Amino acid sequence: MTLHLLKLCVGAESIEDLQASIDFRLSEQRARGLPAEPFHTTRMVPTRKYELLDGGSLYWVIKGAIQVRQRLVDIRPFTDGAGVKRCHLVLEPLLHPTRPQPRRPFQGWRYLKAEDAPADLKRLGGGSDIPEAMRRELAELCLI
């Protein structure tokens, strides 16, 4: 059974900001001769790894709403240089805009059941090529 993660996207004001951050980190990795793969580091390791890797995604909350997701590729626990256990959530580089779904702030990440996850905009009859500001306004008017 597929399960997803939900996380606040701190520092990004838009999907475009998140994409720019991903692109920057990938170019840094390439410049250092490392394999270019997007990941997000967390302190807690998800215990439901196999459900998450069975088609799960990381849904990002930007400006108070779930707006986009990235498919989870792998979950890699590790111990950092200070001896603190951490986890890399390895992600697909492609962002999938979703139907906006309001969320209150929270710390860390949360599990998100598949039936509670917002649909991708492409599956709603298009809309992924709509500029983000217009997409937000249409969502506020309940038109998408």
The residue segments making up the domain with residue 27 are 3-140
Question: Which residues are within 8 A (CB) of 29 and not within 5 positions of it... i.e. 6 or more apart?
Answer: 35, 36, 37
Supply the pTM of this predicted model.
0.84
Q: Which helix (H) or strand (E) holds 73?
A: strand 65-79
Across the chain, which has 144 residues, the per-10-residue mean pLDDT values are 94 92 93 92 93 96 94 95 93 93 92 95 60 72 64
Q: Amino acid letter at 64?
A: G
Total tally of structural domains belonging to the chain: 1
